[in-house]
Structure 1
Amino acid sequence: MMNNSNLIQRDLATLWHPCTQMKDHEWLPLVPIKKGEGVWLEDFDGRRYIDAISSWWVNLFGHSNPRINERIKQQLDALEHVILAGFSHEPVVALSEKLVAITPPGLTRCFYTDNGSSAIEAALKMSFHYWRNQGRHEKTKFIALSNSYHGETLGALAVGDVSLYKETYAPLLMQPITVPSPDCFQREPGASWSEHSTRMFAHMEQALAQHADQVCAVIVEPLVQCAGAMRMYDPVYLKLLRQACDKYGVQLIADEIAVGFGRSGTLFACEQAGISPDFICLSKGLTGGYLPLAAVVTHDRIYQAFYDDYENLNAFLHSHSYTGNPLGCAAALATLDIFEQDDVIANNKHLAAHMGQAVAHLQDHPHVAEIRQTGMILAMEMVKDKTTREPYPWQERRGLKVYQHALQNEALLRPLGNVVYFMPPYVITPDQIDHLARVATEGIHIATQT
């Protein structure tokens, strides 16, 4: 009979896990999962865990969601996959129509890729290629924010700025123009998020004024720099950025891979600033956490720059074998149907408020510098000194102690360094949130005792 122990043994003989120092598993047990239902994951020994991080931020409506399951089963009996070059199918057309309808105004064309990093690659290439098709060969640069993260493929990695992921590969990467982030953790005492974000925009304005003739686009994660320790900023920055990009003739790429589909409190984070980017990159929650699928949605002016006679060689020759996969599109359509049929965004407001209340007591913890929240994303930052905000040395791996405590108490919490965060599926209940808050509080106490 299968159990945790024998599956772990087989795993460690053959697998190389992502984002992992494999030697850790000499003393840190893997957790093999047998099944999932709702917010719960269950291992082969019968232990359960609330998936507080949505399995890397992808799951929206719970594991084994019957509505998404049924849509995929129906599609499986009709068509599992077909080439999307020269061919089409109903699910990809229906999904494109829905994405055009729900994304910010003016975005009218959908280009599909396999995952978030690939969507970023496509958007960067589209922007560069657009300017080339316009005869603007001098436009070859991108502007990005410090502490940003856009994925692990080389183009996406290049426009990110989290050294843990990027530093090793620096010799392989193009060099963006990096502008200080509006990260509100860095605000002066007494300053509001809006005031700090507005003040920090001066750096972006200066970079655009100086480099616009060379710049294709600015790329940002709207409102939350997720892999960058869940650092957050005010929507006013996006509003100012859209105005400045228009002023200086530079495109705007919104990476909503992590913050899209309700995570920020609105369907898309850009809505909170009332802006439309030139490209919006979507993945993760697009299929409700079921299957890899991503999209770049852009406007017709970009599309028309590539629409030409074949012999002029202006087409966008970028492809993936599984582009627009019908099963992925079916999962996405079911996910978007749930948004339409259920009052998801309004219900999330109640859940988000409850999350904030459940951990509010940690504001007074001597080693919690800040509790910050944007919609259904909540983060608690542990520090060595609350007054000076001196961080713990990363080598101490304080967050790992929270992770280990959580696993012993029916919760999957996977901190980012010293930042403990909740980004749960939207089917979580207030009681389950209270459980996570208790476990996180205990874990933070244990992690900061010495």
Structure 2
Amino acid sequence: MTNNQLIARRDLAVLWHPCTQMKDHEQLPLIPIKSGQGVWLEDFDGKRYLDAISSWWVNLFGHCNPIINQAVKAQLDTLEHVILGGFTHESALELAEKLVEITPPNLDKVFYADNGSSAIEVALKMSFHYWRNLGQTRKTQFVTLENSYHGETLGALAVGNVALYKETYGPLLMDVITVPSPDCYHREAGESWRDYSLRRFADMENTLAKHADEVCAVIVEPLVQCAGSMRMYDPVYLKLLREACDKYGVHLIADEIAVGFGRTGTLFACEQAGISPDFLCLSKGLTGGYLPLSAVLTSNKVYEAFYDDYQNLTAFLHSHSYTGNALACRAALATIGIFQSQDVLGRNRHLAQIMAKAAERFKEHPHVAEVRQTGMIMAIEMVKDKLTREAYPWQQRRGLKVYQYALSQGVLLRPLGNVIYFMPPYVINEQEIERMADVAWQGIQRATQD
């Protein structure tokens, strides 16, 4: 029995893995990872895997990055954690100052949580509570987009719209208003992303006109609906949405948990529309993939609605034990420091061009309906029929075949159903991009053979 097999046996005796049908592992071997360096992971038998998905989209600057490593080690010798209720510390303070500095205008206050779903819960509760504090108690609803995903806790799940994750828990969830998505996969032949996104905005406009008095906020993933098969839309939708939220007196929550920190070509996706949301939710890449941490940024206007005598019971009493954890904050500061000391966005633009070139051939594949890209996110949509875009039955699990083949070739791809995507760390090089694309091509060839 190999080292990998021994560890996998121990694991399956005690561990229940996330987003997994555990019975799959009767045939699908677990991959125990011993170490990581740059874009590479190494298992206990010495095999290496190119991490083409940034370990669930969190790793920006490679595994065991020396700059982030050193920052966390230095923090560990000073302070590991302290309660943030009634106390503060240097790392949490410095990170809050830095986040206010680098995010879009009018985001003046930072509220920490410890994962993406928790950040969404904070934003939802804060928006609802804001209106309540102002006496607008009819505002209890949220507007969300079809095919959206905002996390797995009950509030976050409620404002999402991917049936695979949400449907089972329907009886536990609050009702929301769902509007058709500007997802440009559905545009007409010859129609531009911009024109389609403009056309789809009419649905949002009509919804807000009808329901504004009862709506707290609209929540969206700017530019890319990541867990919703990496579907994409034009920034013009965000611009119109900001204008409509202002017009109808509704908050805008931007969930940039997956798309923030350079993924879409700008530091934050909202920048491409020239807008500031009322709430900006950040996590994943915030710490460079090192430690769990999230942040919700909002305006002084929102903050002031809670600032009152205690006896009036307007305080925001949401909390997490590990709020503002010093080690996580220091990792985040080191991550932001890399952005500010290096031309990360410029290099990413170059890498995005390399990815586009490497994926050109997929456009002509008889079982690929679309190749789409926003910055450092690229998606390849496998279909049964290219002409009609008829999808493969989900039960056939064609994406799983790509995953298995890629692992055999030393590349970690984790398709979303029949959508293969690339979201690599920003330290990937041209040769590694070509390898990633070659393996994906061969995987699709095998997965689409009937």
TM-score, normalised relative to structure 1: 1.00
Taking the aligned partners of 1:67 and 1:261, their CA distance within structure 2 comes to 17
Where does residue 244 of structure 2 map in the other structure?
244
Between the aligned partners of 1:83 and 1:106, the Cα distance in structure 2 is 28
Give the whole-Å Cα distance in 1 for the aligned partners of 2:134 and 2:330. 37
* Superposition map of 1:11-30 within 5 A: 11-30=11-30
Residue 113 of structure 1 pairs with residue 119 of structure 2: no
Write the mapping of 1:6-85 to structure 2, written as runs, cut at 5 A.
6-85=6-85
- Residue equivalent to 2:273: 273
CA distance in 2, matches of 1:2, 1:136: 63
Quote the Cα distance in structure 2 between the aligned partners of 1:2 and 1:428.
30
Q: 2 CA distance for matches of 1:372 and 1:67?
A: 33
What amino acid sits opposite 1:63 in the alignment?
Answer: H
What is residue 372 of structure 2 aligned with on the other side?
372
Aligned partner of 1:132 in structure 2 is 132
Offset at 1:421?
Answer: 0.3
Amino acid in structure 1 at the alignment position of 2:442: E
Alpha-carbon distance between aligned partners in 2 of 1:272 and 1:431, rounded to the nearest angstrom? 29
Where 2:379 maps in the other structure, the secondary structure is: strand
Tell me what 1:175 maps to: 175
Q: State the AA in 2 paired with 1:80.
A: E
1:410 to partner: Cα distance: 1.2
Q: CA deviation at 1:181?
A: 0.2
Cα distance, 1:3 vs structure 2: 1.2
Alignment map for 1:147-186 (pairs within 5 Å): 147-186=147-186
Unaligned runs of 5+ in 2: none
Question: Structure 2: how far apart are the matches of 1:25 and 1:228?
Answer: 25
Q: Distance in 2 between matches of 1:361 and 1:149?
A: 30
Show the counterpart of 2:198: 198
Q: Distance in 1 between matches of 2:175 and 2:234?
A: 27
Distance 2:272 2:397 in 1: 35
What is the aligned length? 450
* Secondary structure, counterpart of 1:369 in structure 2: strand
3-state secondary structure, aligned to 2:381:
strand
> For residues 126 and 61 of structure 1, what CA distance do their matches in structure 2 show?
32
Structure 1: distance between partners of 2:47 and 2:345: 31
Deviation of 1:263 (Å) = 0.3
Once residues 28 and 91 of structure 1 are traced to their aligned partners in structure 2, the CA distance between those partners, rounded to angstroms, is 42
**Partner secondary structure for residue 20 of structure 1:** coil
For residues 196-252 of structure 1, give each alpha carbon's deviation from its aligned partner in whole angstroms, at most 9, with x where no partner exists. Answer: 000000000000000000000000000000000000000000000000000000000
SS at 1:336 equivalent: helix
Aligned to 2:310: 310
Partner secondary structure for residue 42 of structure 2 = strand
CA distance in 2 between partners of 1:418 and 1:237 (Å): 26
Q: What residue number does 1:99 align with?
A: 99
After superposition, what is the alpha-carbon deviation per residue over 1:112-157, rounded to whole angstroms, capped at 9, x for unaligned?
A: 0010000000000000000000000000000000000000000000
SS at match of 1:317: coil
Report how far residue 29 of structure 1 moved.
0.2
2:64 and 2:243 mapped to 1: Cα distance?
43
Task: State which drifts further: 2-11 or 182-191.
Answer: 2-11
Aligned-partner SS, 1:291: coil
Other structure's SS at 1:266 match: coil
The equivalent residue for 2:414 is 414
SS in 2 for 1:420: strand
Q: Can you list the C-alpha shifts for 1:396-425, whole angstroms capped at 9, x where unaligned?
A: 000001000100111000000000000000
Runs of at least 5 residues in structure 1 that lack an aligned partner in the other structure: none
CA shift for structure 1 position 187: 0.3
Q: Secondary structure at the match of 1:257?
A: coil
Give the whole-Å Cα distance in 2 for the aligned partners of 1:251 and 1:278: 6
**Which amino acid in 1 is paired with 2:30?**
L
Distance 1:385 1:407 in 2: 26
| 2:90 match | 90
Deviation at 1:315, TM superposition (A): 0.3
The code of the aligned residue for 1:152 comes to: E
Counterpart of 1:257 in structure 2 is 257
**Percentage of pairs with the same residue:** 73
In 1, distance between residues paired with 2:258 and 2:6? 34
Partner SS state of residue 174, structure 2: coil
Matches within 5 A, 1:349-364: 349-364=349-364
Q: Which runs of 4+ in 1 moved over 3 A?
A: none
Output the CA distance in 2 between the equivalents of 1:47 and 1:323.
37
> Matched residues in 1 for 2:2 and 2:75: separation?
31
Task: Give the secondary-structure state (helix, strand or coil) at the position aligned to 1:329.
Answer: helix
Superimposed CA distance per residue, residues 86-136 of structure 1 (whole angstroms, 9 cap, x where no aligned partner) = 000000000000000000111000000010000000000000000000000
Deviations 1:295-337 (A, max 9, x none): 0000100000000001001000000000000000000000000
2:223 maps to 1:223: yes
**Letter of the aligned partner of 2:384 in structure 1?**
K
Q: Tell me the secondary structure at the aligned position of residue 242 of structure 1.
A: helix
1:438 aligns with 2:443: no
SS of residue in 2 equivalent to 1:112: strand
RMSD of the alignment, in Å?
0.7
What amino acid maps onto 1:113 in structure 2? Answer: A
- State how far apart, in whole Å, the 1-side matches of 2:204 and 2:30 are: 43
Q: What is the CA distance between 1:2 and its match in structure 2?
A: 8.1
Aligned to 1:394: 394
3-state SS of paired residue (2:80): coil
1:428 and 2:428 correspond = yes
Q: Deviations over 1:74-97 (max 9, x none)?
A: 000000000000000000000000
